[in-house]
Amino acid sequence: MNPIRVVVWGENVHEHKNPKVAAVYPDGMHTTIAAGIRENSSAVEVTTATLQETDHGLTTERLAATDVLVWWGHMAHDKVEDRIVDRIQQRVLEGMGLIVLHSGHFAKIFKRLLGTSCALTWREADEKERLWVCNPGHPIARGIDKYFELPREEMYGEPFGIPAPDEQVFISWFEGGEVFRSGCCWHRGNGKIFYFRPGHETYPTYHDNNVRRVIANAVEWARPQGQWADVSHCPNVKTPPEPLAKKAD
């Protein structure tokens, strides 16, 4: 099997504005996320792209050669150009996998593909997060115990303004009592989408082995399968596969 061509996209803004974030992710969050995927999967070719590059690093040619795109964004969602969002949406419909992390719940591409508010409740108070596996047979939960914990994270709570997921893999519980659908799968066109909640920028979440494994599992799950259908137009098929009987007027 050919290696899965993965692009980890990072907004790459907090790392340069907040010394606390730079201390946790000195080479950028995208670099750490990419390293975690390489470490947990032998079948991948992982590169990174950032907001600041031409076309945010996502040219038509590069997206055409991408099997799975991993997305982390937060404070600069509005800086992502709509023409690039159009381009990513088209590729997902064709079959490219999309993994959206943490604050990416408000990314233009996520809201576009899901079509709902994607709003949630939140609190930044150094809380413990317990992520329960609610679908142990799912490939994204492979190698994960009944649950795992992150000692300090931002809280995200319900209601989460998403369409009902096609598959639910994780549910989070927080120290303060809230719960949240933290690992959700959807299909759009030929593409698979996975949303994974943890990853607030001031915490070392993407250094956590369980988190790294889940993202790598998700990449393998989301790789394109089968033949991509042409979704760009609606052909008028005047000649059917079987000849039509003459109809009486």
Sites of contact with Zn ion (CB under 5 A): 103, 154, 200
Judged by CB, which is closer to Zn ion: 63, or 101?
101
Judged by CB, which is closer to Zn ion: 129, or 154?
154
CB of 232 to Zn ion, least distance (A): 36
CB of 18 to Zn ion, least distance (A): 12
The whole-angstrom separation of Cα 118 and Cα 132 is 21
Length of the chain: 249
Could you tell me the two tokens for 145? 């115990």
Contact 183, 169 (CB under 8 A): yes
Judged by CB, which is closer to Zn ion: 89, or 103?
103
CB of 138 to Zn ion, least distance (A): 25
114: closest CA among 180, 182, 187? 187
How distant is the alpha carbon of residue 120 from its chain centre? 17
> 149: helix, coil or strand?
strand
Judged by CB, which is closer to Zn ion: 102, or 223?
102
What does the DSSP assignment read for 221-237?
HHS--SPPP--S-----
Judged by CB, which is closer to Zn ion: 200, or 223?
200
CB of 200 to Zn ion, least distance (A): 4
**By Cβ distance, which residue is nearest to Zn ion?**
200
CB of 43 to Zn ion, least distance (A): 30
Contact 200, 102 (CB under 8 A): yes
